[in-house]
Homo-oligomer: A and B are copies of this chain.
Amino acid sequence: MSDNWLDKINWTQDGLAPAIAQEAATGRVLMLAWMNREALEKTALSGEAHYWSRSRQKLWRKGEESGHVQKVKSIRLDCDEDAILLEIEQTGGIACHTGRHSCFYRTLEAGEWVETDPVLKDSETIYRKR
């Protein structure tokens, strides 16, 4: 596979692009994370979502600690070539480190962010050494 497809991306000055993970079975948007070139390449080659952690400044295979791996079914690019959309299968049904299905668990209601999605698994259990 040539690398030309990676050269198409308009990375930010920091070499990143936002990537949306959407669950294939439900259509739910589970998270938004960031990719650099290596993360996108590894995602395409391995079929598992890899991201760049801005806080930890390191490449990160989603689920490497929690087991909540994301199997990638398709990778899309937008018109400006600076945003990525992954269609994924979410192992364990939990994308969020808080133990929820989706990271987007708060909804704006009458000027307040209300937690509208339940915790499915407590985060201590998720990250307990296995």
Residues of A that sit less than 8 Å from B by CB: 1-2, 4-5, 8, 18, 20, 22, 27-29, 31-32, 44, 74-80, 83, 85, 96-98, 100, 103-108, 110-113, 116
In the assembly, what is the distance between CA of A74 and CA of B29, in Å? 13
Contact (A32, B20) CB under 8 Å given A2-B111, A79-B96: yes
Which residues of the partner chain B approach A83 to less than 8 Å between Cβ atoms?
A: 18, 32, 103-104
Number of copies: 2
Which residues of the partner chain B approach A116 to less than 8 Å between Cβ atoms?
A: 76
Interchain CB contact under 8 A, B108 and A79? no
Interchain CB contact under 8 A, B32 and A78? yes
Could you tell me the distance in whole angstroms from the C-beta of A99 to the nearest C-beta in chain B? 10
Max chain B C-beta neighbours (<10 A), residue from A29, A96, A98, A107:
A29
Interchain CB contact under 8 A, A5 and B103? no
Interchain CB contact under 8 A, B110 and A98? no
Interchain CB contact under 8 A, A76 and B5? no
18 A-B pairs in the complex with CB atoms less than 8 angstroms apart? A1-B111, A2-B111, A4-B111, A5-B108, A5-B111, A8-B113, A18-B83, A31-B78, A32-B83, A74-B108, A75-B107, A76-B106, A76-B108, A76-B116, A77-B113, A78-B104, A78-B106, A80-B103
